[in-house]
Chains A and B, each alone.
Chain A
């Protein structure tokens, strides 16, 4: 399970989970037809990580252009999964990218920080 990759589509985000380079990324548009099926695969993959098999500090980048409300629920589940991994000793530095004028995307990242009680770096991108 070194690398897990999904190409982005008009409705689903690009996904790169790269254990070797310790870089994780979900980016693009997210409004899958079946949100649960799409994100459960990612949550299950992350759920298999444990401190006995992986070591070091990992980077997790979220860079959504758009996500629907159903996706926001499953992203929260995924972030909670990262929080559980953190408790197990696997540290993720989480970056939440948003377009500078997109206040709603920024607020969503802040809500995740509060709800999951996890540090998320908010990074604005000039458009």
Chain B
């Protein structure tokens, strides 16, 4: 393993500034960690003087993104997840990155692609359809999270899936909210 020296620390600092990252976490995203990260999101609201209705939307998006990682991400010591908060030119960014088993890659990708083809009315329609479909189900996963994120962000959802080994992919997800 390559050693971590002061120069790489300098480079990391430069990249964080260049990429407009306001906060970056790498580690397991457990239920307890979710609560801490949500508090950090709330602290950023004051720092950036974000108005009340947008605060609610961003908080909502952050919860759904973090719950997606804690519920669906594959955790393990060498395959930690990441969570970031960014802000650039009037846009607030919530980003997550986590390992997924590649047997879910296709369905996740097609769900996101479908969501990205829909306008607000289309999203509302599938949200209601999903809600009705789910009436008989006891699963905690309502399948509503990504639709909800798209509705509240009012922007297309950015994602990328990169293979990391034979059975697993890395899922990078970014939600942009115009301030």
Q: Which of A69, A73, A80, A103 contacts B53 (CB 8 A)?
A: A103
Cα–Cα distance between A105 and B124 once the two chains are bound (Å) = 14
Report which of A10, A69, A105 forms a contact with B144, defined as CB distance below 8 A.
A69
A68 in contact with B63 (CB, 8 Å): yes
Interface residues of A in 55-83 (CB under 8 A from B): 66, 68-70, 72-73, 76-77, 80
Q: Smallest distance from the beta carbon of A97 to chain B beta carbons, Å?
A: 14
Q: How many residues of B contact A (CB 8 A)?
A: 30
Q: Which residues of B contact A7 (CB under 8 A)?
A: none
- Bound Cα distance from A76 to B130, whole angstroms: 11
Q: A102 at interface (Cβ–Cβ under 8 A)?
A: yes
B141 on the A face (CB < 8 A): yes
Say yes or no: A73-B132 contact (C-beta < 8 A), given A33-B31, A66-B59: no
Q: Does A46 touch B at the CB level, under 8 Å?
A: no
Nearest residue, chain A, Cβ from B70: A33
A91 to B13, CA, bound (A): 61
Q: Could you mark each residue 117-140 of chain B with 1 if its beta carbon is under 8 Å from any beta carbon of chain A, else 0?
A: 000000010011001101100111
A34 to B31, CA, bound (A): 11
B152 part of interface (Cβ distance < 8 Å): yes
Q: How far is the CB of B72 from the nearest CB of chain A, in Å?
A: 12
B161 to chain A minimum Cβ distance, whole angstroms, is 22
Query: Does residue A101 face the partner (Cβ distance < 8 Å to B)?
Result: yes
Q: Which residues of B contact A111 (CB under 8 A)?
A: 124, 127-128, 131
B143 to A: closest C-beta gap in Å: 9
Task: Verify if B52 is at the interface (C-beta below 8 Å from A).
Answer: yes
Contacts of B59 in A (CB 8 A): 66
Known A-B contacts A69-B144, A70-B140, A73-B134; A31 and B52 likewise in contact (beta carbons under 8 Å): no
State the Cβ distance, B131 to closest chain A Cβ, in Å: 5
Decide if B128 touches A69 in the complex (CB within 8 Å). Answer: no
Q: A36-B139, A68-B63, A70-B142 are in contact. Are A104 and B152 (CB under 8 A)?
A: yes
Answer whether A72 and B144 are a contact pair too, CB < 8 Å, given A10-B35, A36-B139, A80-B135: yes
List of A residues within 8 angstroms of B152 by Cβ: 104
Known contacts A101-B52, A115-B131; A69/B35 CB under 8 A: no
A39 to B46, CA, bound (A): 33
Residue of A nearest to B151 (CB): A104
Instruction: Please indicate the chain B residues that have their CB under 8 angstroms from the CB of A69 in the complex.
Output: 64, 142, 144-145, 147-148
Q: Which 9 A-B pairs have the closest CB atoms?
A: A73-B142, A69-B144, A101-B53, A69-B148, A69-B145, A35-B140, A36-B138, A101-B52, A73-B134
Binding site for B on A (CB under 8 A): 10-11, 31, 33-36, 40, 66, 68-70, 72-73, 76-77, 80, 99, 101-105, 111, 114-115, 127
